[in-house]
Amino acid sequence: MFDLSTIPRKPGQLILVTDTMQAPAEFILQRIITSHLRNPEARVVIASCLDGISHWKSTSSKFSSGISLASRISAGSVVFIDELDRLFQSPSDSPIDVLALSSLFCKLSEAMERDSDRSSGGEGLLVLDGLSSFEWMGMPMIHLKRFIRALFALCTKRSFSLLIRHHRTDNGQTDEFLRLYLQLAAFHLEVLPLSTGRSGAISGEVNVLRGPALIESESRQQEVLQRTSAIQYRLLDSGLLFFERGTSAGIL
Amino acid sequence: MSSFKRKTTTSSPHKSSNAQGTRISQTNSQIQFTSTGVPSLDDILGGGIQLGTDVLLLNPDPHSSHATLVQKYCISQGLASGHKVHVFDSDAEDLVASCMWKQEAEPSSNSIPNQTSNEDEDPSTGEDKVKIAWRYERMDKFRTTVSSNSSINDDYCEAFDLSCKVPYSIIKSSTVSGNLVYYDVFDEECPYETMASRIKDVLASAYDQPPSSGGGVTRLILPSFAGPSWGEPSSQKIISFLLRLRSLLRKYPLSCAVLDLPSHLSSSSHEDPSWTDKLSWVSDACISLEASSSDPSMAVMLPSHHGLVRILRLPTFQTLVPISDRSSTLRGISASSSSGNSGGVGENNLAFKCTRRRLVFETFHLDVEGGVGERRTTPATTVAVGNEHSENKQALPLLQGDRSAANVQVEIINNPIPESPSVASKEPAKETKEGAKRQKVRRKVGFQTDKPDIYDF
8 Å CB contact of B243 and A237: no
- Distance, in Å, from the CA atom of A122 to the CA atom of A12, rounded to the nearest integer, reads 15
User: Residue B338: its pLDDT value, please?
Assistant: 52
Q: Where are the domains of chain B?
A: 22-120+134-364, 373-449
- Longest distance between any two alpha carbons in chain B, whole Å: 92
Mean pLDDT taken over chain B? 75
Report residue B162 CA to chain centroid gap. Answer: 13
Q: By three-state DSSP, how is residue B160 classified?
A: strand
Q: What is the domain extent for residue A134?
A: 8-185
8 Å CB contact of B236 and A198: no
* Domain assignment of residue A129, yes or no: yes
A96: chain B residues, CB-CB within 8 Å? 236, 240
Query: What mean pLDDT comes out for the span B61-71?
Result: 92
Residue of B233, B219, B243 lying closest to B190 (CA atoms): B233
Minimal CA separation from A108 to chain B, in Å: 20
Rounded (10°) angle between helices A141-158 and A176-184: 20
Q: What is the 3-state secondary structure (H, E, C) of A212-250?
A: CCCCCCCCCCCCCCCCCCCEEEEECCCCEEEEECCCCCC
Counts of helices then strands in chain A (DSSP H, E): 8, 9
User: Residue A214: its pLDDT value, please?
Assistant: 75
Closest chain A residue by Cα to residue B196 = A91
Segments in B308-446 forming alpha helices (H): 324-327
DSSP for A68-100, written as a single string: -HHHHHHHTSEEEEEHHHHHTSSTTS-TTSHHH
Model confidence pLDDT, tens digit, residues B302-333: 888 999 999 999 998 888 888 888 888 888 77
| Number of domains present in the structure of chain A | 1
Higher pLDDT, B357 or B427: B357
* Domain assignment of residue A251, yes or no: no
Query: What mean pLDDT comes out for the span B333-352?
Result: 68
Percentage of chain A with pLDDT > 90? 14
Query: What mean pLDDT comes out for the span A200-216?
Result: 79
Model pTM? 0.78
The topology under which CATH files domain B22-120+134-364 is: Rossmann fold (3.40.50)
* Domain assignment of residue A79, yes or no: yes
Pair type for strands B285-291 and B437-439: unpaired
Q: In whole angstroms, how large is the CA radius of gyration of chain B?
A: 25
C-alpha separations of A109 from A13, A72, A76, A104, B394 in Å: 17, 19, 16, 9, 60
Closest chain B residue by Cα to residue A20 = B277
Instruction: Write out the H or E segment, with its range, that includes residue B243.
Output: helix B235-251
Q: In which band, very low, low, confident or very high, does the pLDDT at A64 lie, cut at 50, 70 and 90? A: low
> Which residue type does B71 have?
Q
Q: By three-state DSSP, how is residue A59 classified?
A: helix
- Disruptive mutation site among A88, A132, A176, A232 for chain B (greatest number of B CBs within 10 Å): A88
- The A124-129 sheet, strands edge to edge: A78-82, A43-48, A124-129, A160-167, A14-19, A185-192, A204-210, A231-235, A240-244
A52: chain B residues, CB-CB within 8 Å? 247, 250
B240: chain A residues, CB-CB within 8 Å? 95-96, 137-138
Of the candidates B193, B337, B338, which has its C-beta nearest A91's C-beta? B193
C-alpha separations of B51 from A81, B201, B317, B444 in Å: 23, 18, 10, 48
Query: What mean pLDDT comes out for the span B419-439?
Result: 41
Segments in B16-112 forming alpha helices (H): 39-45, 66-81, 92-97
Burial A79-111 (b: 16+ CB within 10 A, else e): bbbbbbbbbbeebeeebbeeebbeebeebbbeb
CATH number (domain holding residue A149): 3.40.50.300
Residue B447, pLDDT above cutoff 70: no
C-alpha separations of B53 from A117, B45, B157, B317 in Å: 39, 12, 19, 7
Q: In whole angstroms, how large is the CA radius of gyration of chain A?
A: 18
Q: What is the ipTM of this complex?
A: 0.90
Of the candidates A171, A199, A235, which has its C-beta nearest B273's C-beta? A171
8 Å CB contact of B239 and A88: no
- Distance, in Å, from the CA atom of A204 to the CA atom of A235, rounded to the nearest integer, reads 9
> What's the DSSP call for residue B441?
P
- Distance, in Å, from the CA atom of A237 to the CA atom of B22, rounded to the nearest integer, reads 23
Higher pLDDT, B70 or B108: B70
B278: chain A residues, CB-CB within 8 Å? 136, 169
8 Å CB contact of A170 and B274: yes
C-alpha separations of B144 from A242, B161, B352 in Å: 34, 20, 11
Query: What mean pLDDT comes out for the span B266-281?
Result: 87
Of the candidates B236, B247, B251, which has its C-beta nearest A138's C-beta? B236
Residue A147, pLDDT above cutoff 90: yes
Model confidence pLDDT, tens digit, residues B84-97: 999 999 889 999 99
* Domain assignment of residue A173, yes or no: yes
- Distance, in Å, from the CA atom of A137 to the CA atom of A152, rounded to the nearest integer, reads 23
Q: Is A81 on the interface with B (CB under 8 A)?
A: no
Model confidence pLDDT, tens digit, residues A165-176: 999 886 667 788
Q: Chains A, B: CB contacts under 8 A, how many? A: 123
